A and B are shown apart, each in its own frame.
Chain A
Amino acid sequence: MAERIRAWGVVGTVPRALAAGLVVFAILYVLVIADPPDEFGGGNWRTTNTGSALDDPSTFLTTVLDGLTFAGLLFIVASGFSLIFGLMRVVNMAHGAFYLLGGYIAYEIQQRMTGSGFGLNPTEVNTLEWVVPWLVAMVCIGVFGLAVQQLLLRWNQGQDLRQALITIAVSVIVADQVIAHFPRTVPAGTQQFGGNAVSISWPGWTNRLVDLHVGGVTYSLSRLVMLALGAAVGLALFLWLHKTKTGMVIRAGVDDRQMTAAIGINIQTTFALAFLVGSALAAFGATVGGSQASIAQGRDGEWLLFSLVVVIIGGMGSLAGAAVGSVLYGLVFAFAVAYLPTTGNECCTQYSVVLTFALMALVLAFRPQGLFGRAA
């Protein structure tokens, strides 16, 4: 044990105990300590936007749902990133740029289909007018990703750093080109300056609140659809990877690429397929994310960060890791907004981004390879 402690060095036992203590404190804070603000302002370190979970269970439940539904979206995007890395050891730094391009493509298709311009009434969009843009965007980005892989990443396999640099170059070019050319349609009277924030519309039937019959909570149906889509992607990927022959080959490739190739399997086809699917998932996520929030300049970097954080927490190349990472990050994100203390106007929900770092640091202190990652 003594050797173990010494070997830990900087990331030693004391910081770990401290970290565990902080987690316990955070949970206690949300459960019992948090206090709603007084009617006349003011407040102390216990004051949050909402009461504690015991005082105000419905807000707590809503926050959990916010976290889980966001996790659904996170998973769609990050699973594609993780799939590509797991099989090919390529960190696709252009994943965020693919997201941006995919989102704008879906938006343009929807605009063309509905033909009603920016003043689109969300209740009038039918399911087809959402599904077709979504599929077209997925096909476009999938093919684009495949082209990038075949042209730029196929001949230098194994040089993971060089490949990361290549995808960074691709992301710079793609993001700049997207901003130069999209969106093509903007609301009347607005100047198209490139990279305007635009929204895709959910199908009309999702635009309502559903009563959950638990603690009197009503919740947005579109966000629940988002969670369902995330779960569907997870299930589909699971079945694909674990119940089909292609999936078997992919898993074999993840474990031992050379051996898989040596027994006569064309691993290059599998690589191409994985890149196609992984890229298409970025566009899938962009359509969903663009429907829930917006597509705009800067979203590429944001979603690259989200994907990175999810897979760093969950462990690279692991489907379960991507799922757990998404849920953890989604929950931390949602709880930070609802439960960070709010003494005064300037404090403190704006510090929520620090919790992203805290979550990552916490996981890496215990498991450097991520929760489900295998030692490199």
Chain B
Amino acid sequence: MTVDRTKLATERVIGVAALVVAVLAPTLFSAFWLNSILTQALILGIGAASLIFLSAYGGMISLAQTGLMGIAGYALANMVTQRVPGGETKGLLLGWDPTVGLVAAILLTVGIGLVFGAVASRSYGIYFLMLTLTYTVIAFLFVGSVTLIGGFSPVAGVDTYTPGFIGDIVTDRERLYYITLITAVFVYLLVRYLVRTPFGVSLQGIRDEPVRMASLGYNVALHRTIAFGIGAFIAALAGVLSAWWFGQLSPTTMGLDATIQMLVIAVIGGLRRIEGAWLGAIAFLMINNEITNRIPSSGLPVIGGTFNTVIGFIFLAIVIVSPDGLMGLWDRMWDALRRRGGPPHAEPEGGEPAAVASS
């Protein structure tokens, strides 16, 4: 067995084990852990997966994903909350049927994502990063300044109006956990499927050689726009789940801090592989949980400041030491193994293309 096959088998075993643990989680972990760490990690992971999907297969590092998540959440909150005496007061309070609202919120987000994607479709690399960052900041300022749909104080009550097939998630947090888990698995499989379709393969071609793909007759801008739309769809799922999890929406969920947090998660996990999204999310939340409790209210010892300073330094260290994050470390470990111990004939057979296709 070659090193690459061993690696693949190891990853499969780890993946299945992780899934088993995830399914059994409600019996294994405390309610706090389940709700605050695992559910949130799965949601943030879905958000990060939309970012990593675009970066790993489209070569587009998008900072618009938090903005799109927020747009989906705000759309849902405005559509489903009802105008009842003594009820919620903020937002449009359209009071639509929750199922209709859910579908409409996701469609709206995808639509906005397609417009965003079309505008950015001819920008590359660092330009793309900057442009998508402005999308999020604009979305943030929009919901903050338009008091009709939000304003700077939170819009609440979104979690009490869920579609029938979702059920009561306010009291039954285990239910929300499983819904999130199913969505996360769906997103993972969707991405794995998409990148093997002709569309996904040409998207990866565009990632590597946009000019060559254009001269071969592919519509580069259209491919990138559609990929961005798919990213927006995944972000919309994360946004809806996040709205249900928090139960309320405030502009800060799509502010600069949240955007950077999403990027930190994706970078900790690794921007090259989709698995990194959830790995990064759980690592981030565990660090967050460990550290936040230890910081006195007066700030960090000696230098002062909050958790942000700590995560800033962690982020800095990761970018300096391993820009590909934890998944990058993992891949490099196997590369080292292959170079040192692998049989000589393994090289041509199990080289880079196989690794890409299997990952």
Contacts and interface: CB of A to CB of B under 8 A. Distances in A.
Q: Do A and B bind each other?
A: yes
Interface in B307-336: 308-309, 311-313, 315-316, 319-320, 323
Interface string A126-145: 00000000000000000000
A175 B320 contact: no
Interface of chain B, main secondary structure: helix
Interface in B106-128: 115, 118-127
B138 A353 contact: yes
B135 A357 contact: yes
Contacts of A353: 138, 141-142, 145
A115 interface: no
Contact of B125 (A161, A168, A352): A161
Interface in A166-198: 166, 168-173, 175-177, 179-181
B305 interface: yes
Contacts of A161: 61, 125-126, 129
Interface in A267-324: 300-301, 304-305, 308-309, 311-312, 316
B316 A91 contact: no
B267 interface: yes
A164 B126 contact: yes
Contacts of A376: 124-125, 127
Given A10-B225, A11-B122, A165-B267, A173 B313 contact: yes
Interface string B244-274: 0000000000011000100100010000000
A176 B305 contact: yes
A236 B124 CA distance: 32
B222 A165 contact: no
Contacts of B323: 159, 162, 165
A10 B221 contact: yes
Q: Which size bracket describes the interface of A in this complex?
A: 35 or more
B327 to A, nearest CB: 16
Contacts, number: 141
Q: Which size bracket describes the interface of B in this complex?
A: 35 or more
Interface in A1-60: 7, 9-11
Contacts of B135: 357
Interface string B213-248: 000000101100100000000000000000000000
Interface of A: 7, 9-11, 89, 91, 152, 159-162, 164-166, 168-173, 175-177, 179-181, 300-301, 304-305, 308-309, 311-312, 316, 346, 350-354, 356-357, 360-361, 364-365, 368-369, 376
Given A161-B61, A301-B137, A365-B119, 10 more contacts: A9-B222, A10-B222, A168-B315, A300-B256, A308-B133, A350-B147, A353-B138, A360-B134, A361-B115, A364-B119
